[in-house]
Structures are given as structure tokens and as C-alpha cells.
Amino acid sequence: MPTERPIDRLLAIMARLRDPQGGCPWDLEQDFSTIAPYTIEEAYEVADAIDRKDLAALKDELGDLLLQVVFHAQMAAEQGAFAFDDVATAISDKMVRRHPHVFGEASFADAEEQTVNWEAIKRAERAAAGEQDASALAGISRGLPEWQRAVKLQSRAARTGFDWPDPEPVLEKLQEEIAEVRAEFARGDVAANRDRLEDEIGDLLFVAANVARHAKVDPGAALRRANHKFERRFRAMEALAEAAGTPLPTLSLEQQEALWQQAKQAEREGAGAA
């Protein structure tokens, strides 16, 4: 008797959880919209495990992410829309179709030429599906995190030639946007100027994403790194304050800044020793 495949066991578990007769009440209450936030969260957990180079955690987080795919597929199967095997078949067909240089006779000079062809295939797929939007920006999901969508919009525009030739003018534009944000703050009433501030801060963040794109840095990964750094240093500040018998909230901003600098210095010295 053949051994049950792990994926078949997982599919059976999900079906059991969603069984109206004896399934899990919480799982039965869910739908695509309520599960979607968990799907996004699990994708970020995968990215975090990769950032930490924790392969044991990565295995666990990939399992959590796979469960999300299985959950959505189970709900779709219940509606008669599609099943997990249809999902696997569709992505397999897509990968073969979009890699003619691997599974067919096509050949490309380099990765850049292959990327151009990839986008051409995607445009053809959209046209075949009846999509009328012929813009270079067509097909960029509105469900992406906004920083990721910003980079995709910029990258697509760049393929038409609409792009700065190097990082320097992007950095100049960043300074320009910072000045415009300063000008909005200088107006005084932040609450009254909230819409204008949101607009100008949006421009600032969009250009910051463009700086990251020109540096070939993932802005999401860069921000995660900055978050980790801030958390690490802030926790060190708290520890220093507690060791001195003066809890952080009781200190002035100047005293807190001194602890921040102390934490930074200790971090540098620790890195140098390593």
C-alpha cells in the first residue's frame, strides 16, 4: 500500500477542519477576506526567518504559509470554483509557459533580455484573458504592500525609458521632497494641513523607494533591518536605564539620547570585537 504523501495528509486535515459536521467552529466561520490578512502575515514571517538565517524557523513558517494556500483552495473547492490540484496545475503551466528558454527552444543573451520576454509573455496572457489595458503599468496588483507597488510602478516605467540615469538626481529629488514636507509643517496647523502633508509625505516615501530601487536594495528588507536595529538599541537603552536604577520613562529626552548613543557605541564595539 503506497505511503500517504504529506500534502495529501494536509489537504485531508484542512477538509476535516472545514467539515460542517464536527469541524472546527473557528475554521468554519472563515472566508477568503478573513483569511487574507493571515496569508499576508505568514508571508512576512517567512521573510523574517530568512532575514534571521534561521532555517528551522523557515521550515516552520513555510508550512504555515502552505496552510494558507490549502485553506483558500479548500474554501474554493467548497464553492465548486477550483481545488488545490488546480492551483498546482495552473502555476506549473505558467512556469513552463514563461520559461521558454528552459522548457522550449528559446534563448536569451542575459537575465535582462529574459526579463523583457517575461513581461511580454505576461502582456500576452492578459490580452488573451480579455484585458484591454495596454499601459506599461497594467497588471500591477493593488493588493501589494505600497512600498512594493511603488518599486514595481517605477521599474515598469523605467522600461519605457522614463527613469533617471543614476542615483544622483534621485537623491536631489529626495531633498526636494523633504523641503516640501518642511514647508507644510511650517504652515503651522498640522491638523488643517493633514491632506497636504499626506500628499507630500507620500511623494517623499515614493522617491525613497526609488532610491532603494536604484541601489538595487529591497526597501521592505531595508525597513525590516532598520526596525530590528531600532528595537535592539531601544531595548539596550531600557536595560542601561534599569541597571542605573532610573527607568527610561523617568528620564529627560537629553538623558534618553545619551543612553541611545551609549547603546550605539556598545553595539559598534561589540561588532568590532566580533
Is 127 a domain residue? no
Does residue 111 lie in a domain region?
A: no
163/94 same-domain check? no
Residue-wise pLDDT tens digits, 213-245: 999 999 988 998 999 999 999 999 999 999 999
Q: What is the number of domains present in the chain?
A: 3
User: Does the reported pTM lie above 0.75?
Assistant: no
Q: Is residue 201 part of a domain?
A: yes
112 confidence band (pLDDT: 50, 70, 90): confident
Comparing 99 with 173, the larger pLDDT belongs to: 173
- pLDDT tens digit string along 118-141? 778 877 877 777 777 778 888 888
Domain end (from 183, 200, 216): 216
- CATH number of the CATH domain containing 165: 1.10.287.1080
**What pLDDT shows up at residue 3?**
73
Cα–Cα distance for residue pair 18/74, rounded to 1 Å: 8
Whether the pLDDT of residue 2 is over 70: the answer is: no
In a domain, 17, yes or no: yes
Would you state the pLDDT for residue 144?
A: 83
- Averaged over 107-111, what is the pLDDT? 82
What's the pLDDT tens digit per position in 169-191? 999 999 999 999 999 999 888 88
pLDDT reported for residue 77: 98
Q: What is the pLDDT of residue 176?
A: 96
pLDDT in tens, 12-43: 999 999 999 999 999 999 999 999 999 999 99
With a cut of 60, say whether residue 52 has pLDDT above it: yes
More confident of the two residues 187 and 79: 79
3-state helix, strand, coil in the chain (%, to 5): 75, 0, 25
The rounded mean pLDDT for the chain is 91
Provide the residue range defining the domain that includes 240: 221-273
The three three-digit cell numbers of residue 69, written as one number: 494556500
- Asked if the structure places residue 128 within a domain, the reply is no
Q: What is the DSSP string of 14-73?
A: HHHHT-TTT--HHHHH--HHHHHHHHHHHHHHHHHHHHTT-HHHHHHHHHHHHHHHHHHH
pLDDT above 70 for 273: no
Domain for residue 233, yes or no? yes
Residue 184 placed within a domain: yes
Q: Is the predicted pLDDT of residue 1 greater than 60, yes or no?
A: no
Query: Does residue 163 sit within a domain?
Result: yes
Rg of the chain (C-alpha set): 25
Q: Examine the domain organization and report whether 26 and 66 are in the same domain.
A: yes
Quote the percentage of the chain above a pLDDT of 90: 69
Q: For residues 208 and 229, state if they share a domain.
A: no
- Predicted confidence at residue 145, as pLDDT, reads 87
Distance CA 130, CA 126 (A): 6
- Residues 10 and 83 grouped into a single domain: yes
Overall average pLDDT of the 64-85 stretch: 98
> Higher confidence at residue 267 or residue 32?
32
In eight-state DSSP terms, residue 244 is: T
pLDDT at 82 over 70: yes
